[in-house]
Amino acid sequence: MEYCSKCANKNIFSYIDGNKRFHCEKCKTIHYQNPKPTATLICMKGHQMLLGRRALSPAKGKWGLIGGFMELNETIQQAAERELYEETNLKGRVHEFVGICSHFNTVFGDVLLIGMTMEIEDWSLLKAGDDVSEVQFFNISTLPELAFESHKKLVNIFRQKTSNS
C-alpha cells in the first residue's frame, strides 16, 4: 500500500471518491482495501461452549471463540473446518450460520466475522493446537470475559436464537 503498483509513485492516504483510501496522486489509481472474512465458530456440547485461550496477540491470554481468517481458494465452510482442526484437533462441519459482525481497525485491519455453529464428529480428540494455549468448555450462562466485543456480539446473537427456539 505504500507505493503505487501501477507507476511505483508513493501512495497517499486521503479522501478520494467519497472515502479515505490509499491512492496515487500521479496516476490516480485507487488501491482498495477490504475487510478480512473470518470464520468464527460456536462449538456447543450440550449447554457447554468451547473456548480457546489465545496464545498470541491481540488479546493474548484471553478466552475467545475458535476461528480465523479465510484463505484464498477456500470456502467459508472449508475455512471453518480448517481452523477448527488447527486450533482444537477436532473434525467437524458447519451446522448453521448464526450471524455476522464487523470489527474495525484491528491490528489486522477491518475484519468481518462470520459466526457459525459446528457439528463435531468426535469430542474425544479435543486438544489445544495452533494459536491457542488451552481449550475448555464453559457453561453458556457463565462465560468468562471474552477477548473481543465482536465475539460477545456473536455469542449474544446465538443465545437469543437458542432461547427463542
The yes-or-no answer on residue 134 being catalytic is yes
Pairing of strands 66-69, 36-42: antiparallel
30 makes contact with Zn ion (CB under 5 A):
no
- The interface region with Zn ion, picked from 19-27, 42-50, 53-61, 117-125 by CB under 5 A, is 19-27
When the beta carbons of 20 and 141 are compared against Zn ion, the nearer one is 20
Nearest CB to Zn ion, comparing residues 15 and 104: 15
Choosing from 1, 10, 14, 27, the residue that interacts with Zn ion (CB under 5 A) is 27
Which of 1, 2, 3, 9 lies at the binding interface for Zn ion (CB under 5 A)?
9
Q: From start to end of the chain, where are the E strands?
A: 12-16, 19-23, 30-31, 36-42, 44-45, 48-54, 63-64, 66-69, 92-106, 109-120, 132-139
- Per the listing, cell 450460520 goes with 97
Q: Are 37 and 69 in contact (CB under 8 A)?
A: yes
Q: Catalytic residue positions?
A: 134
**Residues engaged in binding Zn ion (CB under 5 A):** 4, 6-7, 9, 24, 26-27, 29
